[in-house]
A = this chain, B = another copy of it.
């Protein structure tokens, strides 16, 4: 694959650009403590994230019209607490609403900003995330993610890995699918993008799910680029330091 043929790099965000697990655990810890809950904040983060896929499935399969991720996250928060044996009703709604914004306040992996800044000089860079636009704006402003635009699920009104998300994003960019490259730490996301004709770049994030992670430790297909991190990807794509 020739890097010259690519005009835009679009990025998975949760796990690929930012570290959701440490961020959510950090944001949840004070609330858990305040309410005398002895839950491990990392277990809580994992439980909340476990609701993510199933919640989007109801929209992907047409059971439910599209709602933005902030809405799903808030519902998932109640469900996660319940699954952990916590009575969500005993916690004030405004506290849970505030905790729901934890996803807006995630930190980038150490290489993300520098890599993005390098890639931005040569390519259009944008998130192609299931996160909604306001979530991505808040995250970018706090973390200084230098996006050229906020693309993703909310524009297309559908969640990845539904094909529309990839193909309509290329269309919005006025590009052919092969001129757009998805960068992700998840083989499944890349497989869906490749099926739609997009180019693909894998950046492993072996601690996204904590020390015991067993999935997505390496590329499971010969993706167009396989990089050690965002800086290595920038180098492979010919973007100067």
Binding site for B on A (CB under 8 A): 70, 124, 126, 133-134, 136-137, 140-141, 147-151, 154-155, 172-174
- Contacts A134-B172, A148-B150, A150-B150 aside, 8 further interface pairs with beta carbons under 8 A come to A70-B174, A124-B141, A126-B137, A133-B172, A137-B148, A137-B149, A137-B173, A149-B150
**What residue of chain B has the Cβ atom nearest to residue A124's Cβ?**
B137
Measured CB to CB, the closest approach of chain B to A65, in angstroms, equals: 15
Complex CA–CA separation, A155 to B151 (angstroms): 10
Judge whether B133 and A149 touch: CB under 8 Å. yes
Residue numbers in B under 8 Å from A137 (CB-CB): 124, 126, 148-149, 173
A173 to B137, CA, bound (A): 9
Please, how many angstroms separate the alpha-carbon atoms of A126 and B133 in the complex? 12
Which of B133, B148, B151 is close to A141, meaning CB atoms less than 8 Å apart? B148
With A124-B141, A141-B124 as known contacts, state yes or no: A172 contacts B148, CB within 8 Å.
no
A126, A148, A154, most chain B CB atoms within 10 A: A148
How many copies are assembled?
2
Query: Is B149 in contact with A136, judged by CB distance below 8 angstroms?
Result: yes
**14 A-B pairs with C-beta separation under 8 A:** A70-B174, A124-B137, A133-B151, A133-B172, A134-B172, A134-B173, A134-B174, A140-B148, A141-B148, A148-B150, A149-B149, A149-B150, A150-B150, A154-B172
**Chain B CB within 10 Å — which of A133, A140, A141, A173 has the most?**
A133
The distance from the CB of A119 to the nearest CB of chain B, in whole angstroms, is: 12
**Across the interface, which residues of B come within 8 angstroms of A150, CB to CB?**
148-150
Residues of chain B within 8 A (CB-CB) of A154 are 172
Which B residues touch A174, using CB under 8 A? 70, 134
User: Which residues of chain B are within 8 angstroms of A70 by Cβ–Cβ distance?
Assistant: 174
Residues of B within 8 A of A141 (CB): 124, 148
